[in-house]
Amino acid sequence: MPTIDLGATPASPEPAGLLASLPRRLTLTLPELRLAAELTDGAPLPFEVGAPRAGVLDSRLGRSTGEDEAAYAAALAALPEPDAALSRRGLLRGDALDEGLRGAIGLLATPTVAVDLDVSAGRGRAKAWHRQAGGAVATLATADGIVFELAWFPVERWGEELARAAVLPEEVVVARSVVPDGLDLPYELLDAAAEAARSGRGDLLSVLAVEHAAGCRGADGAPIPELELLGVLQGLTSECRGRLRALVADVSGESTDVAGVVSWLLLADGWRSLRPRHVGSVGHVTVTRVASPDLALALAPVLAEVAR
């Protein structure tokens, strides 16, 4: 594995004390990012980049209409030339790329652990790629496929960066939820309730509540009454305003081995984690209220398993 230098540029003062551990962040447009990758020995980016159109990140950021593609292409065409833009910001001197920027892109291309985050909240959707090797982490994030935030920092700051991905945008108003803070439900029930909601058959929720009430438990381990369970199912299917999915993979070898997935739902009062488990041969899901700092805690066991 090549050594990645994540130091500052020679022209920049060397950070001291607490500043040495703070993340360094850069905002780059897609053309700037592509040029920087080309200048980093053609380092691959963590997503597929093709022709400048809205569908270029469809697999990562969702599908687009023809009108969206036209607007996306127009936005890219209006951007300044990437070499001139990077030069004005002091990130490119001739053909020499800023050493910190070069190191971060190199780390994105040569990690040992990868965490892919896909977050939707309200009308917004963002994608982030976290890559770690040794004592360093580099992250890349975007909400529109045009402007990206690139950051790099010591691995000790990773938990804070993961929490940033789960912070709710200002336009998402937190209200009261009918879903309690802790639940344990059969997976079959959650799946059937979601399908009933998708097909517009909310009337089936009462039937599902009667059929599955015996296998449902609250945070205290007590059974959930049928009427209360019906309200819970209605809340889970009607309040959902977003989701978070974090996929952890070991990319240190020739093949990618997925180590684990963390899934959250965004309800009226905030995030709920969905943690699968088995009761005998029956699949269950533990639904627990969580906040943005809990994302690092949820991922910690998976990351520890990969790092062994």
Q: For residue range 168-181, list pLDDT tens digits in order.
A: 988 898 999 999 99
Q: Is the pLDDT of residue 52 over 70?
A: no
Mean pLDDT calculated for residue range 89-108: 94
Q: For residue range 28-38, list pLDDT tens digits in order.
A: 999 999 999 99
pLDDT computed for residue 21 by the predictor: 62
DSSP result, 220-289? TSPBPPHHHHHHHHHHHHHS--EEEEEEEEE-SSSS-EEEEEEEEEEETTEEEEEEEEEETTEEEEEEEE
Q: Is the pLDDT of residue 216 over 50?
A: yes
DSSP 95: T
For the chain, the average pLDDT equals: 86
Q: Is the pLDDT of residue 61 over 90?
A: no
CA 54 to chain centroid: 20
pLDDT band at 20 (very low <50, low <70, confident <90, very high): low
Dihedral angle, C-alpha 168, 169, 170, 173, nearest 10 °? -50
Interatomic CA distance for residues 293 and 137, integer angstroms: 18
Q: For residue range 226-235, list pLDDT tens digits in order.
A: 999 999 999 9
For residue 7, the SS3 value is: coil
